[in-house]
Amino acid sequence: MSVAGRPPTAIELAQGAVELAGAEADEGYRRRNPLKVRQAAEKAWLAASLATDHAMEKHGRTPEAGPSAHSARHEFLEAIGEYGLSEKLGYFADRLHGDCFYRGACPTEDGMRRALGEVREYVRRMRDEV
């Protein structure tokens, strides 16, 4: 629950997830714990997904659940002319969710810091600009 006594919004959850991802990535690289690094990547992917869902809700669209959710997010972003953000979302899906979390092919520590910075910026843009 949020401090206001209501369930957290999608954007609040996204902001929390990306911050937790940063802490887990720091710990994972420091302790050389690949499981923590993989969990950090998945939380970063979750943050991007939740932030997109927030933007969809702001535009009166209900985010889909299940296997079609990813396509629906891309269709939404492209429909509002945000092709660059759609490309970013695809990068997060491929690199963080697919390569790192599922396959264990994670970026270097510097690469993960850069990716997390991009996710933070993506979340900010979904909150403030879309």
Query: 62 and 114 in contact (C-beta within 8 Å)?
Result: no
Q: Tell me, rounded to whole angstroms, the distance of Cα 96 from its chain centroid.
A: 9
> In this predicted model, what pLDDT tens digit does every residue of 57-103 receive, in sequence order?
999 998 888 889 999 999 999 999 999 999 999 999 999 999 999 99
Residue 80 CA to residue 105 CA, distance in Å, equals 33
User: According to the model, what pLDDT value does residue 63 have?
Assistant: 86
Domain boundaries, the chain: 10-128
Q: Which two tokens stand for residue 83?
A: 């092709």
**Which of 1 and 27 is assigned the larger pLDDT?**
27
Query: 72 and 63 in contact (C-beta within 8 Å)?
Result: yes
Q: DSSP assignment, residue 100?
A: I
> Binning pLDDT at 50, 70 and 90, where does residue 2 land?
low
Q: DSSP assignment, residue 60?
A: T
Domain spanning 10-128: CATH 1.10.10: no
Q: pTM for the whole thing?
A: 0.94
User: According to the model, what pLDDT value does residue 67 have?
Assistant: 84
Residue 115 CA to residue 130 CA, distance in Å, equals 20
| Average pLDDT value over all residues in the chain | 95
- The one-letter code for the residue type at 79 is A
Burial of 96 per CB tally in 10 Å (0-12, 13-18, 19+): buried
